[in-house]
Structure 1
Amino acid sequence: MLCLDFFFCGALMLCCTRLCVALLASHGQQPILDHDPTETEHTFPSTDMSSASTVSHHDPHNAPCFVDDIFAVLREAVGNDGELTNSSLTQFGICTLSDSSSGSVLLQLAKESIRDQRLGFEVLHPTGVLLAEEDERGTLMLTFDLPQSPLLKLSPALLLAFESPPNGGNLDVTFTSQSLHPNAQTVCISGETQYILLTGQASEVNVHQRWRISVEAKSPDMNQNLKVILISGKSGSNINLVPLLLFSGERGTDISSSLASSQTSFLCELKRFLGDVLPRDHRESSPLQLDSLQSLPPLTLGLSSSDTLLAGLINSSSITIFSFSSWGSVFQVHRGELAFSPGLLEELKLRLEQIVVKIMEVIREEQVGQRATERLGRLKDLSALSMNEPSAGESQYRAFLLLKALQTVARAYELQRGLRATRAGPTSPVRANVCGLRSLTVSLEKRLGLPNTVNINNCHGSCAFPLTNANNHAVLLNFHIESENVDERAPCCVPVAYEALEVVELNEHGTYLSIKPDVVAKECGCR
């Protein structure tokens, strides 16, 4: 099992058993470099280069899942036959498996990530990164400084991850450096390439190092396309790569770090699972800002949460939204814990077993994909409950979140199936116009988390006699209108009962539950 901790860092080096891997990565996230906050760029005054581009200061709002997402990509690089898939070779810029040392390194990393998903690690910050044009042929030079560290004596593999997808066409690119082994390595970059994997050279001395890597397209006239791929930003001044150095540590050396990273791994896996399994609404609409809605005072979910509150949440049918995006600091990953009574813990365990079976059926019937099944399996392992340890607060916390997430998934598919049945079944024209619930899906602000749409329902139809779910006022009003008093408003089909929306916010300070009342219409009537 993989155990991760999260830090701001400037380049990534991963050691799996005897293999140490350097990862210069972004994977769609934006980690922050370690430098003076008053500076906006890294430069190397002693390096004689022109037209230099530098790595800029980035907002790490998605940093907690950054490293975990990389391990997820590695785990998914191997097919059912235990070998790398063709799509994985393209994803990592490997031209062919037979003639590339990077291919064997990637396969070893992928299999190691599958076998051992709780590797500890240490992080090392580079002191600077620079990409510059070196000569008249357009050859580019990638330079980054590494501080003194004994880990640099290990043989690394270097992974360069794109901050944005390559858009310069298909290119064969050669990376040349004394820091690489072999010194010249060729990769194939296409629009589907997310990473470039290279094998590095171990250092014999424990001193500050500067790695300088020449980057050149196979054809000199393609170097301009290469610059387009490697340099981003409106002014063409930012490198399209964000560096991060990660070193694995010996398992068990830091118990608190191991616990925090295991929990973060669960939350990141939960986020990926929801993204995979929730049905997608492809209609475009303006996002709803939930902060503008009325909300009950937020509740802290922790060891002090009462059984009454926890039982109510377990039995609640409300849709739950998970907000992951406010994890502000990767240094402080909150350790969530809950303390259920033995009886309620048994109820939680039973409910979770039942909903897992239900979601497995959904995944199979809806053909969601094998990846969702594998992620659900990992979530079950990470949230496994032991009745012999009723005070194990972290496993209870994870099991509770997983239950609420799966309840929301189940409800989403029940709604989707109901809509399909309604569209397929015969409907009387008269009954079709009777006041009743209709589906209404609204988009949520992207920063909120998952799901990013919610069905709030709405009421449509006629309020002619006999009135649907009418109160005395509506009955008398309808009688008054039918007596030819046409100046009054006739009874309208409106929601008369609602469900709340539950928002679970996870950040570095804790886990909070925000209840938005009267969000989802669940019953209609004439009023």
Structure 2
Amino acid sequence: MVRVPHSASEQPIGPSAHSTHSTEDVPCDEEQLAHSRAMDDFLSALNRESELGRMDYQQFGICSSGTSGLQISHLVQSLDQKRSGLKGLHATKVDIWDAEKEGEMTLTLTFPRHAQPTSPASVTLLFSVDSVKGDGLRVKFNSHSIHPHTQMVCISETTRFLVLKAGQSHAHIHLKLSVTIETWKDENQPKPSVSELRDVLMRKVDGSNMSMKPILIFLSDRDEQGTPHLKYHRNPLDEKLPSRTYLFLCELHKFLSDVLPQKEGPTSQEGANTVSLDALHSLPPLSLGVSSTESLLSGLVNSSTPTVFVFPERQQGLQIHRVEVTLDSSLLSVLRMRLDEAMAQVKQQEAGQNVIDRLQKLSKLSALSPEGEDDEAVAKEHKRAQYRSVLLLKALQVVLSTWEMERAQRAARADEDGPSVPSQCRLQSLSVSLRKFFLEPSKVNINNCEGECGFPLTSGNNHAILLNSHIQSGQPVNRSLCCVPVEFDDLCVIELESEGTNISFKTNVVATKCECR
């Protein structure tokens, strides 16, 4: 009995991107993930048919046990003999042209050349389709890229996939298909338009406007060495799909990268002056999880301490990242309120539609269940959602504080253009670069103290007052009064690792008050 691999979707990886993790790379991109799941669904359906010892041709859009039926059987038999493996490659581009006749259109599918094996045993073109009610329809595909050049499929209520046998003699870079509706369920009604037929052949992903692009499936020997950019996926069928936490962290990294100003490549002098985050004095790190103290959780939710996120060098390391926190009902209410306020503030800024879209995805992935939810089946996921919500709140605080700093810096530059007037000792914005893999933000505003310490002295202790009086009387001193920081905030570092999340506080990083000393 065949046991079909769980995932056969392939993603090209560069020669420098080899992973040391045993876990297979899981797509972080939503579109790649959707196509990965489509392949998983197809392989699961194949596996069920094999276990039952029969073939439900309607599920695969097969009109009869002809060419397409033999293609499905060949896939199952080859996998059963454990001689071959599957590679899935989804189209990177789909172009659609309307034909002159009703019920006809032309599809041109583009696939990356470098990701295709050199000598596949067979090539299959897979469509993940939307079902059609009633008797359905027969659709004819014609192309020199499929073999035979003309193939018929039947789409009905139970159809989930369409399978076409592709040629093996050349790389499939641009695959052009002529599509014709041969039989429509109701001859008295007009045939589907091009857009309607497109929506049938490339169904929409649930809850989004994204269409499922066709996938090329290559059947090849497992020990083939001809395509080093591809690897075989042999995950068991019961292995879980990427967790919501993994998808959330991927989206969070993209959100911060899009919104926060990115540091340009440093000059040699700037590189020498960049400080490693690890070189700063720190309190002992705390693990964020089910055992976290109430004071740590309350501090994260209630404070607006300057924060940076540290992501792993390879995001795939977060595939096994599972963290849960438990907030009491009062703190959970505060978290909801602060999240709503922060998201409203971000939306008020003219940040662009891309930022709003990412924020909506993050909000959906971190959605909290209504208070009083006691169902055991959702308890674990609810705790993970609380964890994701805490991270989202801290990320939004980072974004809002960065925007506030940028506004202050613009105002300061505008003041510099005016008449030059000596200023009293005061706090000024100052950003410095920190060095660490995938640090968001890569620059931190630590502030600085600037201005004169003259008469009258508006800030300072008794020593400063007496010293200033001594200087004003004309008495010589070796050191004049200096405008210096006297109060500081810590820097909260949220370090995301495959095993969990560590919270550390770099002490006395951000100046918050200046005085003359």
User: Structure 2-normalised TM-score?
Assistant: 0.61
Among 68, 83, 89, which residue is 2:27 paired with?
68
Matched, 1:325 2:257: no
**Which residue of 1 is the match for residue 368 of structure 2?**
385
**Which residue of 1 is the match for residue 257 of structure 2?**
275
Output the amino acid matched with 2:442.
N
**Which residue of 1 is the match for residue 88 of structure 2?**
156
Contact 2:425 2:452 in 1 (8 A): yes
Is the alpha carbon distance of 1:186 and 1:330 closer, same or farther for their aligned partners in structure 2, counting shifts above 3 Å? same
Query: Within 2, Cα distance between the matches of 1:184 and 1:174?
Result: 13
Task: Tell me how far 1:282 sits from its aligned partner.
Answer: 4.3
Matched, 1:263 2:249: no
Is the alpha carbon distance of 1:174 and 1:456 closer, same or farther for their aligned partners in structure 2, counting shifts above 3 Å? closer
Query: Within 2, Cα distance between the matches of 1:158 and 1:211?
Result: 21
Give the gaps of 5 or more residues in structure 1. Answer: 1-12, 33-58, 76-108, 123-145, 161-170, 189-196, 214-240
Query: Within 2, Cα distance between the matches of 1:350 and 1:72?
Result: 29
Query: Helix, strand or coil: the match of 1:317?
Result: coil
Contact 1:322 1:505 in 2 (8 A): yes
Output the amino acid matched with 1:156.
G
Contact 2:489 2:507 in 1 (8 A): yes
Is the alpha carbon distance of 1:117 and 1:153 closer, same or farther for their aligned partners in structure 2, counting shifts above 3 Å? closer
Is the alpha carbon distance of 1:505 and 1:187 closer, same or farther for their aligned partners in structure 2, counting shifts above 3 Å? same
Query: Helix, strand or coil: the match of 1:68?
Result: coil
Query: Within 2, Cα distance between the matches of 1:325 and 1:466?
Result: 52
More moved, 341-350 vs 506-515: 506-515
**Which residue of 2 is the match for residue 87 of structure 1?**
none
Task: Tell me how far 1:158 sits from its aligned partner.
Answer: 7.3
Query: Within 1, Cα distance between the matches of 2:39 and 2:333?
Result: 28
Task: Tell me how far 1:470 sits from its aligned partner.
Answer: 1.3
Output the amino acid matched with 2:224.
R
Query: Within 2, Cα distance between the matches of 1:22 and 1:361?
Result: 40
**Which residue of 1 is the match for residue 219 of structure 2?**
202
Task: Report % sequence identity.
Answer: 36
**Which residue of 1 is the match for residue 512 of structure 2?**
522
Task: Tell me how far 1:275 sits from its aligned partner.
Answer: 0.8
**Which residue of 2 is the match for residue 375 of structure 1?**
358
For each residue in 1:15-52, what CA deviation from the matched residue of structure 2 results, as whole angstroms up to 9, or x when unmatched?
A: 5xxxx5333324x97233xxxxxxxxxxxxxxxxxxxx
**Which residue of 1 is the match for residue 99 of structure 2?**
none
For each residue in 1:123-163, what CA deviation from the matched residue of structure 2 results, as whole angstroms up to 9, or x when unmatched?
A: xxxxxxxxxxxxxxxxxxxxxxx999869565733799xxx
Query: Within 1, Cα distance between the matches of 2:40 and 2:282?
Result: 38
Is the alpha carbon distance of 1:313 and 1:330 closer, same or farther for their aligned partners in structure 2, counting shifts above 3 Å? closer
Counterparts of 1:35-184 in structure 2, within 5 Å, are: 67-69=26-28, 71-72=29-30, 74=32, 112=35, 152=84, 156-157=88-89, 177-179=119-121, 180=123, 181-182=166-167, 183-184=169-170
**Which residue of 2 is the match for residue 400 of structure 1?**
390
Query: Within 1, Cα distance between the matches of 2:318 and 2:372?
Result: 32
Is the alpha carbon distance of 1:184 and 1:488 closer, same or farther for their aligned partners in structure 2, counting shifts above 3 Å? same
Output the amino acid matched with 1:21.
S
Contact 1:24 1:159 in 2 (8 A): no
More moved, 425-434 vs 436-445: 425-434
Query: Helix, strand or coil: the match of 1:347?
Result: helix
Among 504, 511, 526, which residue is 2:501 paired with?
511
Query: Helix, strand or coil: the match of 2:504?
Result: strand
Contact 1:444 1:452 in 2 (8 A): yes
For each residue in 1:47-70, what CA deviation from the matched residue of structure 2 results, as whole angstroms up to 9, or x when unmatched?
A: xxxxxxxxxxxx56xx9895333x
**Which residue of 2 is the match for residue 24 of structure 1?**
12
For each residue in 1:322-373, what CA deviation from the matched residue of structure 2 results, as whole angstroms up to 9, or x when unmatched?
A: 11126798497231111000111011011111111111223xx144xx3332
Contact 1:118 1:262 in 2 (8 A): no
Among 281, 296, 306, which residue is 2:283 paired with?
296
For each residue in 1:393-431, what CA deviation from the matched residue of structure 2 results, as whole angstroms up to 9, or x when unmatched?
A: 101000001101111111000111122233335877565
Query: Helix, strand or coil: the match of 1:496?
Result: strand
Contact 1:300 1:512 in 2 (8 A): yes
**Which residue of 2 is the match for residue 35 of structure 1?**
none
Is the alpha carbon distance of 1:152 and 1:417 closer, same or farther for their aligned partners in structure 2, counting shifts above 3 Å? farther
Among 457, 463, 476, which residue is 1:486 paired with?
476
Greater C-alpha radius of gyration: 2
Query: Within 1, Cα distance between the matches of 2:307 and 2:40?
Result: 29
Task: Tell me how far 1:462 sits from its aligned partner.
Answer: 1.0
Task: Tell me how far 1:296 sits from its aligned partner.
Answer: 0.9
Give the gaps of 5 or more residues in structure 2. Answer: 45-77, 93-111, 124-165, 175-213
Query: Within 2, Cα distance between the matches of 1:381 and 1:173?
Result: 36
Query: Helix, strand or coil: the match of 1:470?
Result: coil
Query: Within 1, Cα distance between the matches of 2:305 and 2:24?
Result: 27
**Which residue of 2 is the match for residue 474 of structure 1?**
464
Among 402, 416, 439, which residue is 1:449 paired with?
439
Contact 1:65 1:265 in 2 (8 A): no
User: Structure 1-normalised TM-score?
Assistant: 0.60
Output the amino acid matched with 2:283.
L
Output the amino acid matched with 1:67.
V
- How many matched pairs? 365
Output the amino acid matched with 1:184.
H
Matched, 1:414 2:373: no
Query: Within 2, Cα distance between the matches of 1:117 and 1:450?
Result: 34
**Which residue of 2 is the match for residue 346 of structure 1?**
333
Task: Tell me how far 1:507 sits from its aligned partner.
Answer: 1.4
Query: Within 1, Cα distance between the matches of 2:244 and 2:390?
Result: 16
Contact 2:285 2:503 in 1 (8 A): yes
Output the amino acid matched with 1:415.
M
Is the alpha carbon distance of 1:511 and 1:373 closer, same or farther for their aligned partners in structure 2, counting shifts above 3 Å? same
Is the alpha carbon distance of 1:381 and 1:490 closer, same or farther for their aligned partners in structure 2, counting shifts above 3 Å? same
**Which residue of 2 is the match for residue 501 of structure 1?**
491
**Which residue of 1 is the match for residue 134 of structure 2?**
none
Output the amino acid matched with 2:280.
L
Contact 2:86 2:217 in 1 (8 A): no
Output the amino acid matched with 2:170.
A
Is the alpha carbon distance of 1:298 and 1:23 closer, same or farther for their aligned partners in structure 2, counting shifts above 3 Å? closer
Query: Helix, strand or coil: the match of 1:156?
Result: strand
Task: Tell me how far 1:320 sits from its aligned partner.
Answer: 1.1
**Which residue of 1 is the match for residue 450 of structure 2?**
460
Query: Helix, strand or coil: the match of 1:416?
Result: helix
**Which residue of 2 is the match for residue 310 of structure 1?**
297
Query: Within 2, Cα distance between the matches of 1:467 and 1:116?
Result: 71
Is the alpha carbon distance of 1:464 and 1:198 closer, same or farther for their aligned partners in structure 2, counting shifts above 3 Å? same
Is the alpha carbon distance of 1:121 and 1:340 closer, same or farther for their aligned partners in structure 2, counting shifts above 3 Å? farther
Is the alpha carbon distance of 1:198 and 1:121 closer, same or farther for their aligned partners in structure 2, counting shifts above 3 Å? closer
Query: Helix, strand or coil: the match of 1:210?
Result: coil
RMSD between aligned alpha carbons?
4.1
**Which residue of 1 is the match for residue 321 of structure 2?**
334
Contact 2:467 2:481 in 1 (8 A): yes
